[in-house]
Amino acid sequence: MSRILLSLGLRCLIIASLPAAEAQQPQILVFAAASLTEAVQEVGASYEKTARVMVRSSFDSSSTLARQIEAGAPADVFFSADTKWMDELQSRGLIQVASRRNVLGNSLVLIAPAQSPIRLKIAPHFPLAAALSDGRLATGDPDSVPAGIYARAALTKLGVWDGVASRLARAENVRVALLYVARGETPLGIVYATDALADKGVRVVDTFPADTHEPIVYPIALTQSAQSQAAGFVAYLTSPQGQAIFVKHGFTVLTQ
């Protein structure tokens, strides 16, 4: 009995000591676009096995994250889904310019719920509004969210924007738009190809031609207030090991 009590006592002591031990371990905070969620989480977990650093991540639209950094959020790394919001932080002196690098590419797709019978071929003046019937088109808010900005550009070039502009389900980030479609709350949505891969509740109807919108580029940079350990994480993320994880999740790796 005394041995059991001693064992239980030691276990309780170990458990009680874990938070303090973790608190002493360096932590970095990564602000990353919502479309990067699974890939960045996997890279972070992989990096933690090679370095005594805990990687914490916050995912949302690039616009929301950039504004949070502008407001003083203690992010060490900013990983955006477009160059616009990285440019915004750079213009305000909030990133380390020498650390900035374009890392990934993606493509834009039209999606429907997995069981939807909708069939469309993306082309100039394709019948998108008719396909919506009395429903809405889910995408990121085109006034601020990168996925929505790319979507508006593509639909405008294809000549169908005016027919659907008033029928958008404007999501605060691309993963919310994905969720609208996966739940069947909207008949169609526009997200990144990698988002469609991440949710079995949707299927790709068609892919937007690359020349209908600006190239989808994901830049990364250290913030001005970044801890020294953050540079090691960025180096790992852009290494062959890190890049392989992003490729697995459907991203393309950009060469400098």
Residue-wise pLDDT for 81-99, tens only, equals 999 999 999 999 999 999 9
Residue 245, amino acid: I
C-alpha closest to that of 77 among 102, 52, 55: 55
DSSP-assigned states of every residue in 104-140 = EE--EEEEEETT--------TT--HHHHHTTS-EEEE
Total-model pTM: 0.87
Task: Kindly tell me if the per-residue pLDDT of 2 is higher than 70.
Answer: no
Q: What is the pLDDT of residues 24-48, one digit of tens each?
A: 788 999 999 999 999 999 999 999 9
C-alpha closest to that of 155 among 64, 182, 167, 175: 167
Separation of alpha carbons 28 and 227, rounded Å: 7
Task: Name the band, by pLDDT with cuts 50, 70 and 90, for residue 255.
Answer: confident
Are the beta carbons of 164 and 216 closer than 8 angstroms?
Answer: no
Task: Kindly tell me if the per-residue pLDDT of 9 is higher than 90.
Answer: no
Separation of alpha carbons 47 and 61, rounded Å: 24
Query: What per-residue confidence (pLDDT) applies to 23?
Result: 54
Separation of alpha carbons 149 and 10, rounded Å: 56
Tokens (6 digits) for 208: 């937007």
Q: Is the dihedral of CA 127, 132, 136, 141 positive or negative?
A: negative
Query: What per-residue confidence (pLDDT) applies to 248?
Result: 96
- Long-range contacts of the stretch 119-126 (C-beta < 8 A, 24+): 119/205, 120/205, 120/206, 121/206, 122/158, 122/206, 122/207, 122/208, 122/209, 123/158, 124/158, 124/159, 125/158, 125/159, 125/160, 126/158, 126/160
